[in-house]
């Protein structure tokens, strides 16, 4: 039988002696904790620190973030990836403004109703900002407890998560440092009970840890086999005119929402021939009011997202007619010298850079 009080005391003693100084560690403002937790999802601590500081300089409170233009939000977030996190964060603070008069609610039910806040982020805000005994259980915490308790079931199963949440709740019962328990568990998972070769000799729980006693640390946690990313073929058209290239903005929802790209078509099958690619691109460009022909193939590249993989092929195109009479002249002509001015969707930045270097080479060759 675990002695929860002892576990908590050992954990907090260890945390007091070993914790890293991180900019969000001293915060109790729910908004700032919310920002840090959203940024830390799928991103390393060292990478987050400069973004966190810059973000809060620009949007120091919920009111500032709620009023930000999407383009500005995107430019402050760009480089951190998973832009949908930023959009959800903004929608969340806008809802706090509209529904709660700008004050962050302090019940799990209300916080969980805000856009982009899942059980983990809700637990982190409630325990750290409001000092409530609410668990925040992420992959790190699941790993630590799967070893401490030797849980030989996949940790992504809901009953396992519930069991670990109950254990954390027991550890927080009747103490005044619930937020520190949350942060200490995260720190233990990040510094000591790491995925490979856990540093058990430095662990405050080495005397209790069942996995250590059984020498089973490296076999835990158990995970379900991850689903392979879905392959999506993307055919991209590069239409150039007078040192400019045609770009379009992605829809306001979904993958890479609102970011800029070259006109593209997604398909589940690879276009076998250049004629197949041309047919796809002609359809896409017609939507933009243009008749094109494909001149030649450009670069090919692969970009991996968490659940899908883009296999992207580019094609240089030529305008057959300036615009189709009566159609919309859509898209934005971007001078090649200004490619840095756009928030590019994933691999399109690389394509833009390749295009500029290719054009530079051609000008150089002509000049010889």
Residues forming the site for ligand SF4 (CB under 6 A):
144, 147-148, 192-193, 198, 200, 203, 205-206, 209, 211-212, 217
How many Å apart are CA 159 and CA 232, to the nearest integer? 34
In the bound state with ligand SF4, the residue whose beta carbon lies nearer, of 123 and 198, is 198
Over the range 138-155, which residues count as b (16 or more CB within 10 Å of their CB) and which as e?
Answer: bebbbbbbbbbbbbeeeb
Q: Cis ω on the peptide bond leading into residue 3 (within 30° of 0)?
A: no
Over the range 199-220, which residues count as b (16 or more CB within 10 Å of their CB) and which as e?
Answer: ebeebbbeebbebbeeeebeeb
* Residue 218 C-beta: closest distance to ligand SF4, Å: 9
Beta-bridge partner residues of 314: 236
Q: How far is CA 141 from CA 136, 179, 185, in A?
A: 8, 14, 6
Residues 6+ apart with CB under 8 A from 300: 311, 312, 313, 314
In the bound state with ligand SF4, the residue whose beta carbon lies nearer, of 86 and 192, is 192
Element (H, E) at 261: strand 260-261
348 within 8 A of 355, measured Cβ to Cβ = no
* Residue 115 C-beta: closest distance to ligand SF4, Å: 35
- In the residue annotation, 37 being an active-site residue is answered as yes
| Catalytic hit among 21, 27, 37, 261 | 37
In the bound state with ligand SF4, the residue whose beta carbon lies nearer, of 196 and 253, is 196
Q: At what angle do helices 178-191 and 139-148 cross, to 10 degrees?
A: 80
In the bound state with ligand SF4, the residue whose beta carbon lies nearer, of 18 and 299, is 18
Evaluated on CA atoms 156, 198, 152, 171, the torsion sign reads: negative
Number of neighbouring beta carbons within 10 Å of residue 341 = 10
In the bound state with ligand SF4, the residue whose beta carbon lies nearer, of 68 and 200, is 200
Q: Strand, helix or coil at 223? A: coil
Q: At what angle do helices 45-58 and 30-40 cross, to 10 degrees?
A: 140
Closest alpha carbon to 3 in 285, 193, 208, 287: 208
In the bound state with ligand SF4, the residue whose beta carbon lies nearer, of 141 and 211, is 211
CA angle centred on 243, ends 237 and 249, rounded to 5°: 45
In the bound state with ligand SF4, the residue whose beta carbon lies nearer, of 219 and 321, is 219
Q: Would you please indicate which residues are annotated as catalytic (active-site) residues? A: 37
């Amino acid at each position: 039988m675990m002695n929860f009080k002892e576990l908590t005391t050992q954990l907090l003693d260890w945390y007091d002696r070993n914790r890293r100084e991180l900019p969000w560690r001293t915060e109790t403002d729910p908004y700032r904790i919310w920002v840090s937790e959203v940024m830390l999802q799928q991103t390393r601590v060292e990478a987050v620190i400069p973004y966190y500081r810059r973000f809060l300089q620009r949007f120091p409170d919920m009111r500032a973030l709620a009023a930000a233009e999407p383009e500005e939000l995107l430019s402050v977030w760009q480089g951190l990836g998973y832009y949908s996190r930023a959009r959800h964060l903004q929608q969340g603070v806008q809802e706090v403004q509209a529904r709660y008069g700008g004050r962050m609610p302090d019940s799990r039910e209300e916080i969980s109703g805000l856009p982009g806040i899942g059980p983990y982020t809700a637990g982190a805000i409630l325990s750290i900002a409001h000092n409530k005994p609410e668990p925040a259980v992420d992959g790190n915490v699941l790993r630590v407890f799967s070893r401490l308790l030797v849980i030989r079931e996949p940790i992504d199963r809901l009953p396992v998560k519930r069991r670990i949440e109950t254990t954390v709740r027991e550890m927080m019962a009747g103490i005044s440092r619930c937020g520190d328990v949350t942060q200490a568990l995260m720190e233990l998972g990040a510094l000591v009970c790491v995925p490979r070769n856990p540093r058990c000799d430095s662990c405050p729980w080495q005397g209790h840890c069942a996995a250590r006693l059984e020498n089973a640390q490296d076999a835990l946690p158990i995970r379900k086999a991850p689903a392979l990313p879905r392959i999506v073929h993307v055919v991209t058209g590069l239409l150039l005119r007078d040192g400019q290239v045609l770009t379009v903005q992605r829809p306001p929802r979904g993958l890479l929402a609102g970011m800029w790209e070259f006109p593209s078509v997604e398909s589940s099958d690879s276009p076998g021939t250049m004629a197949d690619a041309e047919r796809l691109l002609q359809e896409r460009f017609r939507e933009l009011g243009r008749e094109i022909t494909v001149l030649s193939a450009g670069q090919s590249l692969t970009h991996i997202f968490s659940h899908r993989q883009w296999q992207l092929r580019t094609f240089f195109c030529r305008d057959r007619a300036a615009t189709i009479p009566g159609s919309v002249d859509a898209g934005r002509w971007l001078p090649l010298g200004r490619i840095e001015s756009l928030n590019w969707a994933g691999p399109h930045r690389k394509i833009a850079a390749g295009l500029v270097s290719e054009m530079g080479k051609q000008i150089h060759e002509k000049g010889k």
